[in-house]
Structure 1
Amino acid sequence: MTSIESVTLEVADVTAADRFYTAAFGLGDQVLLRASEAPTTGFRGFTLSLVVAQPANVDALVDAAVDAGATTLKPAARSLWGYGGVVQAPDGTIWQVASSSKKDTGPATRQIDEIVLLLGVQDVKATKQFYVDHGLAVAKGFGSKYVEFATGSGPVKLALYKRRSLAKVAGVSPDGTGSHRLVIGGDAGPFTDPDGFTWTTASRTVSR
């Protein structure tokens, strides 16, 4: 089964980005960094979601991110589906932090249960078929609005969402141009998908 081993964020200042991510989320080698000056403006067409067990953990991660320099796009709050908030890292990457639970069951921690890469695409059905043709299996889908792939034992899960809808969830305008500033490392690549997202063969040579 196709898996995603890591995502690489292309940032202007690797040292500053590493300092932020260490302080904010304590992420390991699932999220890598490399230097890039590729032009980019506005919404980059993706978000990364940190799924946690309870609201207190959401607050702990969001507070740590803001203390480290993130900008709050949507304050953490309850919703129909659970509890979550959205922040934007200093490098421009948008992070959703969420829990399906609305009640705490223990002390707050910063333990992350899942990392989900959400790609905002123009045509969900067409992009879904592209990924199926490249060896990914659909785990869950809601017509032309949302698709989640089965990514096996890989540490990063993958889902597709309409670009405009994802921007709305993130609390930003859907407009954006230039580089996504993202490279997906897995065993399906290398290729570039219909929306310009680049996959490469997973490698541990680029590290944080």
Structure 2
Amino acid sequence: MNSLASVTLEVADPTAADRFYTAAFGLDTWLRLRACETPTTGFRGFALALTVSQPGTVRNLVDAALDAGATSLKPAAKSFWGFGGVVRAPDGTIWKIATSARKDTGPATRRIDDVVLLLGAADVIATKQFYVGRGLGVARSFGRKYVEFEAGPGPVKLALYGRRALAKDVGVPADGTGSHRLVLGAGGDVPGPFGDPDGFLWEAASLTPTP
């Protein structure tokens, strides 16, 4: 395993979810949708972060998501790190849209520069060691607070955040039970499906999206 090749969201209604994501973000084929009715409540332990170039693009994407049916968790606003907002999709997935820039330097677009999957970990150090053992290289590490792995050939970056710190960052209580409603597609050689220390499931990435 050398990268995160795809992210599968398990949703109650794949058709409705596809309609939302097409309207809100126009996301590429790395995002898969799969029908699932497995019970889950509260915070699912992860968030997807979209990094863009400037505040106007953050506003465009946040507004498009709200117009398509998302709910606001944190309105788009300036922060210590730049400018960003957080929304919850109708299927329950939390999306953070942010930029390190504080001012617009050109016309606002809807272009997404980077996608980062933020996994909430009970023990960031232990989970970091687990993924290093699976073949992922570390790009940045801040002790028990945050770890970002090298992207490799995959389109999505993987990062670890303390679960409670991640919940606070996206504006929700940290409590939650049941399924994560998330399956990660591994790039490279994968001997079989496996789970990480926090219960996130991995499988070999298929060449074509799952309908």
- Bucket of the pairwise TM-score, normalised by the shorter protein: over 0.9
Q: SS in structure 1 opposite 2:20?
A: helix
1:112 aligned partner, one-letter code = I
Aligned to 1:194: 197
Q: Distance in 2 between matches of 1:109 and 1:204?
A: 30
Deviation per residue, 1:66-108 (Å, 9 max, x gap)? 0000000000111111100000000000000000111111111
Q: Is the 8 A contact 1:3 1:153 kept in 2?
A: yes
Question: How big is the shift at 1:16?
Answer: 0.5
Aligned to 2:87: 87
2:186 aligned partner, one-letter code = G
Aligned to 1:153: 153
Q: Is the 8 A contact 1:34 1:206 kept in 2?
A: no
Q: Distance in 2 between matches of 1:153 and 1:53?
A: 22
State the identity %. Answer: 69
Tell me, yes or no, if structure 1 residue 169 matches structure 2 residue 169.
yes
Q: Distance in 1 between matches of 2:103 and 2:153?
A: 28
2:85 aligned partner, one-letter code = G
Q: Is the 8 A contact 2:87 2:96 kept in 1?
A: yes
Return 5+ residue gaps in structure 2 as ranges.
none
1:102-117 superposed matches below 5 A: 102-117=102-117
Q: Is the 8 A contact 2:29 2:209 kept in 1?
A: no
Q: Distance in 2 between matches of 1:204 and 1:14?
A: 19
Deviation per residue, 1:114-155 (Å, 9 max, x gap)? 110000010000000000111111110000111010121211
TM superposition score normalised by structure 2: 0.96
Tell me, yes or no, if structure 1 residue 67 matches structure 2 residue 70.
no
Aligned to 1:48: 48
Mean CA deviation greater in 187-196 or 52-61? 187-196
Aligned to 1:25: 25
Deviation per residue, 1:148-179 (Å, 9 max, x gap)? 10121211000000000000001000000000
1:73 aligned partner, one-letter code = L
Return 5+ residue gaps in structure 1 as ranges.
none
RMSD over aligned CA atoms reads 1.1
Q: Is the 8 A contact 2:120 2:162 kept in 1?
A: yes
Question: How big is the shift at 1:187?
Answer: 2.4
TM superposition score normalised by structure 1: 0.97
Q: Is the 8 A contact 2:194 2:203 kept in 1?
A: yes
1:56 aligned partner, one-letter code = G
Question: How big is the shift at 1:42?
Answer: 0.3
Q: Distance in 1 between matches of 2:175 and 2:80?
A: 27
Q: SS in structure 1 opposite 2:50?
A: strand
Between Structure 1 and Structure 2, how many residues are aligned? 208
Divergent runs of 4+, >2 A: 187-190, 204-208
Q: Distance in 1 between matches of 2:134 and 2:169?
A: 28
